[in-house]
Amino acid sequence: MANNINTKICMNPECALHGKANEGNIRTHGWYKTKTSRRRRYICSACGKSFSSNQGSAYHRLRASKEKINYACHMSAEGVNISAISRILGHSWNTINRWLERARKDSHDFQVKHLEGYELHEIQADEIKAFTHANKRKVWILALIDVGTRLWPSVLTGKRNYKNIRKLFGKALHKGDVDNKLFITTDGFTPYSWVLKRMLGPACLYGQVVKKRKKNQITKVARKVIIGSKEQIADALECSEDSENLNTSFIERLNLTIRRNTSYLHRKTPAHASRPDRLQEQLELQQCYYNFMRPHQALKFGAEVYTPAMMAKIADHKVSWAEVLQLYLATLVEFLVNCCNNSYEHLKTAV
Ligand SMILES: [Zn+2]
C-alpha cells in the first residue's frame, strides 16, 4: 500500500491539494541515492514540490537503511544499551539515540491507537524499584498484567502512592472491557486496597499475597481476601486456566522480563536513565515490543507462538518495527482513502 501512487499525498502544507489523496497530482520523479541504496522521489503537479517515499515516517531524513534502523530498535527492546548498539552497527551514540527517540515516540503513538478493546479477566499488579540519574534517585515502576492473555496494558513510573496506583488501574480499565467479575491480585501494599475499594468496590474480587522476608529469604506467605468472599475467590480460581491459588507469579515474571529487556534497569548498571520521563519512554517502547511483536512462549499453540496482542484479539499478526515506525503515514493514508471513499463507517473507525 505504501508504494501505491494513489495513496501518496502532497506533504507541502502550502499546497492547495495538501493531504488530499487520489487527486492525480502526484507523479513519480525519479530516484535519489542514499549511502546504501536508492529511494523513490515523487512530485506534486499542483505546487511543483518534490518529496521522498519516506516523508512522514520515522525513517525520514535518516541516511541508514530501514533494516538497520529496525535492527537497532529490536536490539534496544531486547535490552542492548545504546553504546553497545553503536559499536555493533558502527554508528555514533548520538545517531543511535536519535533513531531510538523516534522509535519511542512512535511506540507510544502505536499503543495509543492499537492497545484498546481487550478484555480483562484476571489481573495482577506489582512495583519494581529502579534508579534514575547518576546519583541514583529512587523511582518506582508500576506495572499490570492480564494473566490469561499475558497482555501488559499499562505501565507508569514515579512515586509508589495512591495517585499513581489509581492512574495505573484507570489506564488499563479505560481502554479495555471488563466482563463479569474482575479478579485482581497484588502484593500487600495498602494503597492498592484503598484504590480498588473506591474504584471498583464489589464489582471486583480482590486478594493480596503478603510475603514476609528475612535476609532476602521468604519466610512466610499469607493470602488475604480483601474484596469478595473466600467462596467467590475459590470459584474464580476454579475458572482460571493459569492460577491454582492466590499468587503474583505472572506479574513477577513480567517484572523480570522488563528488568532484563530494559538496559537502564540491569542490576549493577553504571548507566541509569538520565530522567524518569526517559525511563517511561523506554518502557513504552519495551511495552509495545512485548505486546505486539515478541512471541510469548506461554502462548504456544502447535507450531505457532502468539504475541499477547494476538491472544487478546487486538492484533491478527506479529507486528513489525516497520509498521510501528510508519504509523503516522499509514494512519494519514488510511484516513484520507476512507474520506475519498466517503464511507461513514470507515470514517468513524479512522477517527
Ligand atoms: Zn502540492
pLDDT of residue 127: 92
Phi/psi at 238 (nearest 5 deg)? -60, -40
pLDDT of residue 347: 46
For the segment 31-77, what is each residue's pLDDT rounded down to a tens digit? 888 777 787 888 889 899 888 877 777 787 777 888 899 999 999 99
Inter-residue contact 123 to 145 (CB < 8 Å): yes
Q: How far apart are CA 293 and CA 77, in angstroms?
A: 10
Q: What is the average pLDDT across 255-279? A: 83
pLDDT of residue 60: 78
pTM: 0.83
Q: How far apart are CA 13 and CA 4, in angstroms?
A: 21
Characterise 305 by phi-psi region: left (phi > 0), alpha (psi -120 to 50), beta (else).
beta
Diameter over CA atoms, the chain? 75
**Which residues surround the ion ligand 1 when the cut-off is CB under 5 Å?**
10, 12, 15, 44, 46-47
Distance 9 CA to ligand 1 centre (A): 8
Residue given cell 519466610 in the structure block? 219
Q: How far apart are CA 304 and CA 13, in angstroms?
A: 45
Q: How far apart are CA 65 and CA 35, in angstroms?
A: 8
Cα distances from 282 to residues 110, 120, 154, 216, in angstroms, run 14, 25, 14, 29
Cα distances from 320 to residues 81, 283, 307, in angstroms, run 21, 18, 12
Q: In the structure, what pLDDT confidence band is assigned to residue 96 with cuts at 50, 70 and 90?
A: very high
Distance 24 CA to ligand 1 centre (A): 11
Characterise 19 by phi-psi region: left (phi > 0), alpha (psi -120 to 50), beta (else).
left
pLDDT higher than 70, residue 81: yes
Q: Could you tell me where in the chain the CATH 3.30.420 domains are found? A: 118-261
Q: What is the average pLDDT across 145-159? A: 93
**Which candidate, 218, 150, 214, places its Cα nearest to that of 187?**
218
CA 77 to chain centre: 11
Distance 282 CA to ligand 1 centre (A): 36
How many C-beta atoms lie closer than 10 Å to residue 200's C-beta? Answer: 18
pLDDT of residue 4: 65
Q: How far apart are CA 4 and CA 1, in angstroms?
A: 5
Distance 341 CA to ligand 1 centre (A): 21
Distance 339 CA to ligand 1 centre (A): 19
pLDDT higher than 90, residue 273: no
Distance 13 CA to ligand 1 centre (A): 8
pLDDT of residue 66: 84
What CATH number does domain 118-261 carry, 2.40.30, 2.60.40, 3.30.420, 3.40.50? 3.30.420
Distance 108 CA to ligand 1 centre (A): 30
pLDDT higher than 70, residue 238: yes
pLDDT of residue 351: 43
Q: What is the average pLDDT across 93-120? A: 92
